[in-house]
Structure 1
Amino acid sequence: MWKKGFWIGTASGLALGFYMWIIESLTEIKIYTLLMNVDFIPVIGDIDWPVFIEWLFHMIISWGIGIFYCFLLRNRQTNTVRLQWMAAYVLSAIAASTYFPLTILAIKETPSVTNIAAISFWLAGHILYATILKASYSIKR
């Protein structure tokens, strides 16, 4: 369960991070900045972290989601494909809902809470995350 959760968290986290980076590079809408931002967290937010540490923070969250996803499915008597999709999208929807508190708490420049394009890209990225989460879960490992 741990190994598989780590694997699917890695695949999903990398997909989301690269998607957000590409979108920000193409549009200049700072959703990648928002995804990687920790400036509002006491103590660690005061440090100007290198990019690989920001990615590590992002991946730690994704690994936790991947492990939790595997835990949810492992403890179900009927682990159906429908349940796998539903769990992936519910967990991703919870993660996507962080757009608003992360935007409000951010100190550095991030998209506003009313930026429809940013919200749309953020939601699309989290749909991608859920899709990769479920698809990588189905790979035999």
Structure 2
Amino acid sequence: MKFLKGVWIGFWSGLILGLLFKWIQAVTGVNVYLLLLNVDFIPVIGKVEWSEMTEFLFHTAVSVVIGIVYVYFAKRRPYTFGQLTVLSLVLCSPTYVLYFLLSSLAITDQVPGLTDWEAITYWVFGHLAYSLLLPILYKTFERKNAASQ
């Protein structure tokens, strides 16, 4: 049950983050969605021309792993919502600075640069929203499970 809950939480939070970044990119022209999906620097798979859907599935797979890890830690003992939020913020803290690594490793010049503060702001905002989605979805699924039993 923990595993499936982690999969669902990771799937939905990753889907929402991806759609948020796609919307931000469409509205502002800042390529944060492109950066989120970019895999051109990864050996072997970076040489392939993947479809947007496949690259989105890569992103979603990473989010599912984060969701599974989050649920594993969240289920270890009873936590308040505030504690679950702190747990999520700590677990997701690498994603806030991942911008700089992804931007510097990207082969394409279409991703935002290392000093593009507008892109950095959107990136951090989006990943903070993602971090807040994890405890919200966790509590939502907990309530639904309790109601169905």
Check conservation: 1:11, 1:133, Cα contact below 8 A: no
- 1:3-46 C-alpha deviation (Å, 9 max, x unpaired): 11011101110111001001111111110000000000000000
2:101 is matched by which residue type in structure 1?
P
Corresponding residue of 2:60: 59
TM-score (norm 2): 0.90
Confirm or deny that 1:45 pairs with 2:54.
Answer: no
Please state if 1:90 is matched with 2:85.
Answer: no
Instruction: Tell me what 2:7 maps to.
Output: 6
Deviations 1:20-79 (A, max 9, x none): 00111111111000000000000000001011110110011000000000111122x342
Q: Distance in 1 between matches of 2:54 and 2:91?
A: 24
Structure of higher CA gyration radius = 2
Question: Does the 8 A contact of 1:66 with 1:133 survive in 2?
Answer: yes
After TM superposition, what 4+ stretches of structure 1 lie above 3 angstroms from structure 2? none
Q: How does 1:51-130 map to 2 (within 5 A)?
A: 51-75=52-76, 77-108=77-108, 109-130=110-131
SS for the counterpart of 2:50 is: coil
Distance 2:97 2:73 in 1: 20
- Name stretches of at least 5 consecutive residues in structure 2 with no aligned partner: none
Q: TM-score, normalised by structure 1?
A: 0.95
Task: Judge conservation of contact 1:5–1:70 (CA < 8 Å) in 2.
Answer: yes
Using the alignment, how far apart are the partners of 2:93 and 2:117 within structure 1?
A: 17
Q: Secondary structure at the match of 2:92?
A: helix
Q: Aligned letter for 1:137? A: Y
How far 1:91 sits from its partner (Å)?
Answer: 2.1
SS at match of 1:7: helix
Identity of aligned residues (%): 38
Structure 1, gaps ≥5 residues long: none
One-letter code of the match for 2:134?
A: L
Bigger mean CA deviation after superposition, 91-100 or 11-20: 91-100
Is contact 1:30–1:110 with CA below 8 Å preserved after alignment? yes
* Secondary structure in structure 2 of the residue aligned to 1:97: helix
Query: How far apart are residue 93 of structure 1 and its match?
Result: 2.1
Equivalences, count: 140
Measured in 2, the distance between the counterparts of 1:78 and 1:2 equals 17
Is 1:20–1:32's contact at 8 Å kept on the other side of the alignment?
yes
Counterpart CA distance in 1 for 2:48 and 2:87 is: 35
